[in-house]
């Protein structure tokens, strides 16, 4: 009985497994909780698409190259800091909401321990554990208040209290990746280009490459992800170019 209780306890809470035990780790998972990957990918894509569309829109209005450069830099700076601010506030607000829910759970574990322990046991029963064994495991895991809080948070909220995303990391990742993405379609003009064709070609290649790279973190093929990003970014630029052309005709 003790051995079975220990086995279920370890399955419910992997950190409880003894160091140096017979358990083997066959694979590792990527960090998909949004610490840096999501803001980095989103920032890169957003910077590339938005500044590409902005530059193409000004080109559609047939303005001078100097004006396109100024617009591109303005879009880069404004967009990068806007993304960073938005990510920081978003992640920080999410963390504050999570911490509030954890405090509620901590209060329940302190003032309604028996009911919380029974709730944990029922969650094990729902997974196929025998009721008697589930009760024993829930009792064993509830001895440590912090461990109990972590398990209840994972069971009821689907979060790990020790792995909350960093708002600073999200903000910095967004700012840097947006700036890099936004700089790509601007680069040809900085090197002396006077037509949007070179900028468009470089941006489209970058869109496909960025989409293909993100496939490494998903189950999609690099061809599918790259093509999808190329098509969506190209459509955004085409629409913006059309608006710029119409504006030029309207004021000409």
Q: What is the mean pLDDT of each run of 10 residues along the chain (252 residues)?
A: 51 48 50 62 84 82 83 94 93 92 88 87 88 89 85 82 87 93 93 86 89 79 90 82 65 39
Report the domain count for the chain: 1
- Residue 18: predicted pLDDT: 47
Neighbours of 24 (CB within 10 A): 5
Q: Domain for residue 22, yes or no? A: no
- Residue 252: predicted pLDDT: 40
Neighbours of 249 (CB within 10 A): 9
- Residue 3: predicted pLDDT: 53
- Residue 14: predicted pLDDT: 46
Q: Are 10 and 21 in contact (CB under 8 A)?
A: no
Whole-prediction pTM: 0.71
Residue 3, class by beta-carbon neighbours within 10 Å (0-12 exposed, 13-18 middle, 19+ buried)?
A: exposed
Q: Domain for residue 23, yes or no? A: no
- Residue 4: predicted pLDDT: 53
Q: Domain for residue 144, yes or no? A: yes
- Residue 144: predicted pLDDT: 85
Q: Domain for residue 69, yes or no? A: yes
Token pair listed for 76? 């880069």
- Residue 1: predicted pLDDT: 52
Q: Domain for residue 7, yes or no? A: no
- Residue 35: predicted pLDDT: 54
Token pair listed for 184? 């790509």
Q: Are 178 and 44 in contact (CB under 8 A)?
A: yes
Q: Domain for residue 28, yes or no? A: no
Expressed as residue numbers, the domain containing 106 is 34-251
- Residue 247: predicted pLDDT: 65
């Amino acid at each position: 009985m003790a051995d079975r209780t220990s086995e279920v306890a370890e399955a419910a809470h992997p950190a409880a497994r003894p160091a140096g035990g017979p358990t083997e780790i066959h694979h590792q998972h990527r960090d998909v909780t949004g610490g840096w990957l999501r803001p980095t990918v989103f920032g890169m894509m957003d910077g590339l698409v938005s500044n590409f569309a902005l530059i193409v829109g000004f080109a559609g209005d047939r303005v001078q190259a100097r004006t396109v450069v100024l617009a591109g830099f303005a879009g880069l700076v404004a967009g990068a800091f806007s993304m960073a601010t938005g990510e920081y506030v978003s992640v920080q607000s999410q963390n504050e909401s999570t911490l509030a829910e954890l405090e509620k759970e901590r209060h329940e574990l302190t003032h309604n321990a028996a009911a919380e322990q029974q709730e944990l046991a029922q969650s094990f029963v729902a997974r196929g554990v025998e009721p008697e064994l589930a009760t024993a495991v829930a009792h064993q895991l509830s001895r440590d208040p912090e461990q109990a809080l972590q398990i209840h948070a994972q069971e009821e909220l689907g979060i790990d209290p020790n792995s909350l995303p960093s708002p600073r990391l999200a903000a910095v990742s967004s700012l840097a990746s947006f700036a890099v993405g936004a700089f790509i379609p601007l680069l040809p003009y900085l090197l002396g280009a006077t037509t949007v064709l070179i900028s468009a070609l470089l941006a489209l290649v970058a869109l496909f490459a960025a989409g293909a790279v993100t496939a490494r973190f998903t189950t999609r093929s690099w061809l599918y992800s790259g093509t999808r990003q190329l098509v969506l970014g190209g459509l955004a630029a085409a629409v913006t170019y059309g608006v710029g052309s119409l504006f030029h005709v309207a004021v000409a």
